[in-house]
Structure 1
Amino acid sequence: MIITFVVMEGVAWAMHKYVLHGFMWFLHKSHHTKHDHAFEWNDLFFAYYGTLAMLFFVFGSDPIDYRFWIGAGITLYGIAYFVIHDVFIHRRLRVFGKSYNVYLKALNIAHKVHHSSSARDGAASYGMLWVSWKYFRSAHEIIRKKKQQEINRGSLLNQRT
């Protein structure tokens, strides 16, 4: 299950770069376009991965064998994708507040870089969980500056009272 979860990051990267930004762009472009509706054509890819996981569960459950655990790994990755990508990054559900976590900030920066192009070609950072070190450096610097601003604001408030 854990191996499948880890492998799914590579599968997601390759699918995103070569399929979603390739021949399935006609569905994925809805994700790169500003809109005010709750769902995108891109959400259909959840159905694909859900069906794939379901098939692994069905064919690996009597008796339980490796296919069941592959389905579980795909499902866990799907849950992580939903929470991180849809809820945390795109705020499709408003449950997360500010975060000073360097990893989460780097993840957010990498995704913004990916969305800086609304075209099929020219995007960067196709994965979900793996983040290039250059984004960690940027995230660390941004968080350091924000914390310093808050400290400065707090010290200015203390001086006035």
Structure 2
Amino acid sequence: MSIAVNALVFLATLAGMELFAWFAHKHIMHGWGWGWHRSHHEPRSGWFEKNDLYAVVFAGVAIALIALGTAGWHPLEWVGAGMTAYGFLYFVAHDGLVHRRWPFRYVPRRGYLKRLYQAHLMHHAVHDRQRCVSYGFLYAPPVSALRRQLRELHEGPLKSASLNEDESTTPADAAR
């Protein structure tokens, strides 16, 4: 296969993973897979939570695709590589930036990273599996739209510091 086709498959998979992640987060993790995902919405003690099993499953799929692709089922290796790249970006943005699961002490003050950070905190403002907002991991809708959506879902304004667009968020907020 040509380098251009491989690169296109890789980039399409990387972008498509955000759509898949949104769907899986909303309909599986907050649906029938809540048993694993619930741990992510509760205080964590220790390095791991049951929700990390999703990463293990998705890594297993990516490894299988890479193995099949290198065994001749092209371009599956590039699909697996795109999934792996998405997993790395998820690890950096979600586990590092938002939830501080490794020593990453940067708190974004403006731009895309701030919006991503606030959107995920708004997702965690709801402590059950229903009525959440912002199910994506690398795409974050505008904070004002998420705030409006939360108000509509809860029939009134929530009094959460993470919902105030002008206030900075703290590591304590991210620990949720």
TM-score (norm 2): 0.75
1:89 paired to 2:98: yes
1:5 paired to 2:14: yes
- 2:128 and 2:56 map into 1 onto residues whose CA distance is 24
Corresponding residue number in structure 1 for 2:152: none
1:124 paired to 2:133: yes
Seq. identity, %: 35
TM-align CA RMSD? 2.2
Larger fraction in helix: 1
1:80 paired to 2:89: yes
Corresponding residue number in structure 2 for 1:157: none
Larger radius of gyration: 1
C-alpha displacement of 1:43: 0.3
Q: Show the 5 A alignment for 1:10-21.
A: 10-21=19-30
Count residues with an aligned counterpart: 143
C-alpha displacement of 1:102: 1.2
Q: Contact 2:11/2:82 (CA < 8 Å) preserved in 1? A: yes
Corresponding residue number in structure 2 for 1:142: 166
- 1:117 and 1:126 map into 2 onto residues whose CA distance is 12
C-alpha displacement of 1:22: 0.4
1:49 paired to 2:58: yes
- Secondary structure of 1:52's counterpart equals helix
Q: Which consecutive residues of structure 2, in runs of 5 or more, have no partner in the other structure?
A: 1-9, 148-162, 169-176
Q: Contact 1:25/1:120 (CA < 8 Å) preserved in 2? A: yes
Deviating beyond 2 angstroms after TM superposition, the runs of 4 or more aligned structure 1 residues are: 95-101, 133-136
| Cα distance change on mapping 1:65 and 1:101 into 2, 3 Å | farther
Q: Which consecutive residues of structure 1, in runs of 5 or more, have no partner in the other structure?
A: 146-161
- 2:109 and 2:42 map into 1 onto residues whose CA distance is 28
Q: Contact 2:97/2:107 (CA < 8 Å) preserved in 1? A: no
Corresponding residue number in structure 1 for 2:71: 62
- Secondary structure of 1:70's counterpart equals helix
C-alpha displacement of 1:120: 1.1
